[in-house]
Structure 1
Amino acid sequence: MYTSKAELRVPRQPGQPLAGASFPDRYRSRTARHPPWRPGALCTKQCRRCGLAHRSRNAHHEPDSFRVADAVSTVWKIGPRVKEVTVSVFEYRHYELAPGKQELTRRYVTECSRPTFDRHGFRMTGPWEVVAGTTNSLHYLLEWDDFDARERGWAAFYADPDYQRKRAEIMADGELALRAHVAFWRPMPAPTAPAPTPGG
């Protein structure tokens, strides 16, 4: 007897995900089978959070057939296609100040360097003064997307006419710093977590 392909097809059980379907397609298939979860649909059922029956438009109920494990499995499958996250570069700057230049350095930061940083989109943390130890120093951090962004940022900083004018005014009697120390930091890699297993 001839058997058609339709007769050989195994029927899909309720709640079973579509084979090879993407996450949005799987979600749409679930919402199609559960009308209360279509956008804007009225829902009358017992709420899992408060135990009362509500008739509302998309209240805070949770869909019965949408499991967290399904979402984890889907993310695990599409993971290689997700854009790789870049790690910022942190520039640590430490200045050893000349004797008697502490107050003038505060003026330089307030009136000159910080406004210029703000104009050119620098992401600064600090600055800090030392309260115990070698106190005649200044410290701060700058965050950069990469080293190319750092080069562009500092080029714009030193070419700023307002910065040049204000710096010449404040440093008319000489430089504020005797030495400058620069180091580049990056976050320590986090412990590697085991990859999630499909459906696990």
Structure 2
Amino acid sequence: MLYELRVYHVMPGKMQAIQARFRDHVIELFSKHGMKITHFWDDVDTDKNQLYYIVEHENMELREANYERFRNDPEWLELRRVTEADGALVEKQESIYMKNVPFFKNN
């Protein structure tokens, strides 16, 4: 299993908007394209304006194919257009890819 930690540097004043977009639409859209979000956080230091989440993928090849379908989904394109009518919600996005280590078992 491949775990992707996505870090969003959210535009000032847009945290509620990005969280609403995920809550109301994007989590379901990701699922439609074979991507499962397993954890979601915002930073304790609200001045950082950062949002974090984990997406599970079978492997990197499926990750790429799933995101390609998502990025080209007409529903996503319209949602992004509508939710960013007053400007972008995200300044920058980073991804960190992780895999389990054999010595650690989560009980």
- Name segments (4+ residues, structure 1) moved above 6 Å: none
Contact 2:5 2:96 in 1 (8 A): yes
Show structure 1 runs of 5+ residues with no match.
1-87, 192-200
> Is residue 102 of structure 1 aligned with residue 15 of structure 2?
yes
Note the 1:160-199 alignment, pairs <5 A: 160-190=73-103
Q: Percent identity?
A: 26
* CA RMSD, Structure 1 to Structure 2 (Å): 1.7
Aligned residue for 1:25?
Answer: none
Aligned to 2:33: 120
More strand by share: 2
Quick check: 1:95–1:180 contact (8 Å CA) kept in 2? yes
Amino acid in the other structure paired with 1:90: Y
Assess, with a 3 A threshold, how the Cα gap between structure 1 residues 133 and 187 changes in structure 2: closer, same or farther: farther
Q: Does the aligned pair in 2 maintain the 1:129–1:135 contact within 8 Å? A: no
Structure 2: give runs of 5+ residues left out of the alignment.
none
Count of residues in Structure 1 that have an aligned counterpart in Structure 2: 104
Report matched runs for 1:16-31 at 5 Å. none
Equivalent residues in 2 for 1:125-144 (5 A)?
Answer: 125-132=38-45, 134-144=47-57
- TM-score normalised per structure 2: 0.87
Alpha-carbon deviation of 1:134?
Answer: 4.9
Report the Cα offset of residue 133 of structure 1.
6.4
Q: Aligned partners of 1:120, 1:133: CA distance in 2, in Å?
A: 31
Q: TM-score, normalised by structure 1?
A: 0.49
**Aligned residue for 1:157?**
70
Question: How many angstroms does 1:164 deviate by?
Answer: 0.9
Bigger RCO (CA 8 Å, 6+ sep): 2
> Partners of 1:158 and 1:112 in 2: how far apart?
14
Distance (Å, rounded) in 2 between the aligned partners of 1:173 and 1:180: 19
> C-alpha separation between the residues in 2 aligned to 1:173 and 1:95?
18
The separation in 1 between residues aligned to 2:75 and 2:61, in whole angstroms, is 24
From the CA coordinates, give the structure whose radius of gyration is larger. 1
The 8 Å contact of residues 33 and 67 in structure 2, kept in 1 or not, is answered as no
Question: Which residue is 1:146 aligned to?
Answer: 59
Paired with 1:133 and 1:172, the residues of 2 have a C-alpha distance of 24
Deviations 1:142-194 (A, max 9, x none): 11111111111101111111111111100111111111111100112228xxx
